[in-house]
Structure 1
Amino acid sequence: MKNTKEHIIATALKLFLNHGYRATSMAQMVEASGMSKGAFYHYFKNKEDIYDSVINSYFLKYIDEINWQELEGLSLQETKAAMAAFYKNFVKQIGELTDKGTSRYFSLFFEAYHQVPVFKEQIRGFYSRLVRIIEDKMVKELFYNEQKAHSEAIHIIAHFEGLLFWSAVFPEKDTSFSYD
């Protein structure tokens, strides 16, 4: 079983995904956690404190878990396959958290992007680094010039992000996260 703080964070994420951040109250989080109000407030002083922990635990953790050296060592084809596996697993994980689909994740993601400066900075850093890694592979393996490699790297990332968006719009359809 998760420790108490992790339990509260997981509970808050589910509520934020299912009802939205603004529509979720502290009272709802306390009730959903199954804890007493005093025990709950021992870990988090307010909704914003929990929100920051949710962002760190469920959004930024994906960035922290990336093994950049391993990714850099893959071929371009292997990188695309790794990205496809990541996105497919990601949609599955979101599906386990909410029956509302990835659209709620997008809502929470972009809310955090505009409200939490460190989140925005880390997300931009993540995508910039991913573009550079793919560009490097395209230059080395396909002999693309830097401009073409940059454009194509963005296309690859946009392909997967577009499929993620598509799965939010059409959650009932099976989305193939491949890139050929």
Structure 2
Amino acid sequence: MQTKQSVYMHGSREHIIKKATALFLQKSFKAVTMKEIVESTGLSKGAFYHYFPSKESLFLEIVETYIRMLNIDFDKFSKNSLYEFYHNYIDSSYKKFMQLKEFLEDTNDEDDLTYITLTFDAINLFPGFKEQVRQLHNRELSAWENVIQLAMERGEIKSSMSAMQIAKLFVYVSDGIGQRLIMQGQIKDLKDELLALWNGLYNDLKV
């Protein structure tokens, strides 16, 4: 059972993460000062440093929260068909990104480019984060490859390309359109734009 103190501590930690992330999304990691972060939270220095002794430790927590909230559980997606799989993927990934924005109380779609900047800052600051991203990417490609291989064996789709090559097409199309729409401040169009492209690719592969 949580005590009032534990609930308060959890709430304060989450409050700090939200406020600090908002600042890091406005500026780069180097440009944000600890003084700015402390002032934005409204907490005393003592209370703040109780949770995070340095800007680096706070940023690492933010990055881990970011990864955790956007992490996709491919095992929950349908394996009945490639068509169902990529529809599950789109619904899940879009929902998770919107939940992240809601958690951060971020309503400005024009500044979504800063999410990419935050990722590059994390890669530069924490060597282990780059490896995390690589592992997530490999796991994503593997999940796509497996479901595509099943689709080929069942006769759902046919292609001279390998399952991995097709997997890369789906994933890299997603990466490309995602970054472009983020840069254009049109992230809310991602679901429809990506679905249209994936439907076109699927129709070319479908037997």
Q: Same fold (TM over 0.5)?
A: yes
Do the aligned residues in 1 keep the contact of 2:70 with 2:97 (CA within 8 Å)? no
**What are the within-5 Å matches in structure 2 for residues 9-158 of structure 1?**
9-63=17-71, 66-71=72-77, 73=79, 75-92=81-98, 93-94=100-101, 96-97=105-106, 99=108, 100-143=110-153, 148-158=162-172
Q: CA deviation at 1:98?
A: 5.8
Matches of 1:116 and 1:3, distance apart in 2: 26
Do the aligned residues in 2 keep the contact of 1:91 with 1:102 (CA within 8 Å)? no
Give structure 2 stretches of 5+ with no counterpart. 1-7, 200-207
Matches of 1:45 and 1:121, distance apart in 2: 25
Pick closer, same or farther for the CA change 1:88–1:72 going to 2, 3 Å.
closer
Find the residue that maps to 2:136 and give its secondary structure.
Answer: helix
Identity over aligned pairs, percent: 26
Pick closer, same or farther for the CA change 1:22–1:121 going to 2, 3 Å.
same
Q: CA deviation at 1:90?
A: 4.6
Do the aligned residues in 2 keep the contact of 1:139 with 1:145 (CA within 8 Å)? no
Between structure 1 and structure 2, the one with the greater Rg is 2
TM-score after normalising by structure 2: 0.75
Pick closer, same or farther for the CA change 1:57–1:23 going to 2, 3 Å.
same
Per-residue CA deviations over 1:126-166 (Å, capped at 9, x if unaligned) read: 11111111111111212468962111111111111112112
Q: CA RMSD in A?
A: 2.5
Find the residue that maps to 1:151 and give its secondary structure.
Answer: helix
Deviates more, 1:146-155 or 1:39-48: 146-155
TM-score after normalising by structure 1: 0.85
